[in-house]
A and B are shown apart, each in its own frame.
Chain A
Amino acid sequence: MRKTKMDVDRIVALVTAAGIELTDRRRSARGDGWSLSFSNGAAVEVGDDGSVRVTGKGAKAVAKLLDLPTAPRGS
Chain B
Amino acid sequence: MKRSSGLALFSSTLALCTSAPAFAAQPGDPPNGIAKIETVVVIFAENRAFDNLYGHFPGADGIDKASKESLEQRDRDGSVLSELPPVWDGLTAKGVTPPVTQAMTEHLPNEPFTVNDEKGFNVPLSVVTHDLWHRYYQNQMQINGGKNDMFVAWADSGAMPMSNWDASKTDMWAVAQKYVLADHFFMGGFGGSFFNHQWLICACAPYYADADKNPAKPSISVTDDSGTALKVADNSPKSARDGIPKFVSDGNLTPDFYAVNTMQPPYQPSGNDPAPGGDPRVADPAKPTTLPPQTEPTIGDMLSLKRVSWAWYSGAWQYTLDHGNHTPTPNFQYHHQPFNYYANYAPGSEARREHLRDAGLSGVSFIQAIDDGALPQVSFYKPQGNLNEHSGYADIQAGDRHIADVVAHLEKSPQWPHMLVIVTYDENGGIWDHVAPPKGDRWGPGTRIPAIIVSPFAKHSYVDHTPYDTTSVLRFITERFELPVLHGIVVRDRAVAAHGEPPLGDLTGGLDLN
Query: Interface residues, chain A, CB within 8 Å of chain B?
Result: 9, 13-14, 16-21, 23-24, 26, 37-41, 56-58, 60-61, 65, 73-74
Q: Which of B368-376, B386-394, B435-443, B454-462 contacts A (4 or more CB under 8 A)?
A: B386-394
Cross-chain contact B94 with A41 (CB below 8 angstroms): no
Cross-chain contact A39 with B157 (CB below 8 angstroms): no
Cross-chain contact B131 with A17 (CB below 8 angstroms): yes
Given A37-B287, A40-B334, A41-B272, 12 more A-B residue pairs with CB atoms under 8 Å apart are A16-B131, A16-B156, A16-B392, A18-B94, A18-B392, A23-B264, A26-B218, A26-B288, A38-B271, A40-B325, A41-B271, A74-B273
Which of B263, B273, B392 is within 8 Å of A56, CB to CB?
A: B273
Complex CA distance for A61 and B332, rounded to whole angstroms = 13
Which of A9, A13, A19, A23 is within 8 Å of B393, CB to CB?
A: A19
Q: In this assembly, does B262 line the interface, its C-beta being within 8 Å of a C-beta of chain A?
A: yes
Residues of A within 8 A of B133 (CB): 16
Closest to B192 in A: A21
Complex CA distance for A74 and B93, rounded to whole angstroms = 26
Q: In this assembly, does B244 line the interface, its C-beta being within 8 Å of a C-beta of chain A?
A: yes
Q: In this assembly, does B89 line the interface, its C-beta being within 8 Å of a C-beta of chain A?
A: yes
- The digit string for B270-281, where 1 denotes a CB below 8 A from any CB of A, is 111100000000
* Total count of chain B residues near the partner, CB < 8 A: 37
Give the Cβ gap from A56 to chain B, nearest Cβ, in Å: 7
Closest to A16 in B: B131
Give the Cβ gap from B251 to chain A, nearest Cβ, in Å: 8
Complex CA distance for A74 and B272, rounded to whole angstroms = 11
Complex CA distance for A39 and B156, rounded to whole angstroms = 17
Q: In this assembly, does B261 line the interface, its C-beta being within 8 Å of a C-beta of chain A?
A: yes
Cross-chain contact A14 with B272 (CB below 8 angstroms): no
Complex CA distance for A65 and B393, rounded to whole angstroms = 12
Cross-chain contact A73 with B324 (CB below 8 angstroms): yes
A21 in contact with B262 given A39-B333, A57-B324, A58-B325 (CB within 8 Å):
yes
Which of B261, B272, B288, B391 is within 8 Å of A19, CB to CB?
A: B391
Complex CA distance for A40 and B289, rounded to whole angstroms = 12
Residues of B within 8 A of A16 (CB): 131, 133, 156, 392
Residues of B within 8 A of A41 (CB): 264, 270-273, 325, 334
Cross-chain contact B244 with A24 (CB below 8 angstroms): no
Complex CA distance for A65 and B327, rounded to whole angstroms = 12
Q: In this assembly, does B335 line the interface, its C-beta being within 8 Å of a C-beta of chain A?
A: yes
Cross-chain contact A57 with B392 (CB below 8 angstroms): no
Closest to B392 in A: A19
Complex CA distance for A74 and B390, rounded to whole angstroms = 26
Cross-chain contact A23 with B94 (CB below 8 angstroms): no
Q: In this assembly, does B219 line the interface, its C-beta being within 8 Å of a C-beta of chain A?
A: yes
Residues of A within 8 A of B219 (CB): 24, 26
Complex CA distance for A44 and B53, rounded to whole angstroms = 35
- The digit string for B236-270, where 1 denotes a CB below 8 A from any CB of A, is 00000000100000011000000001111000001
Residues of B within 8 A of A73 (CB): 324
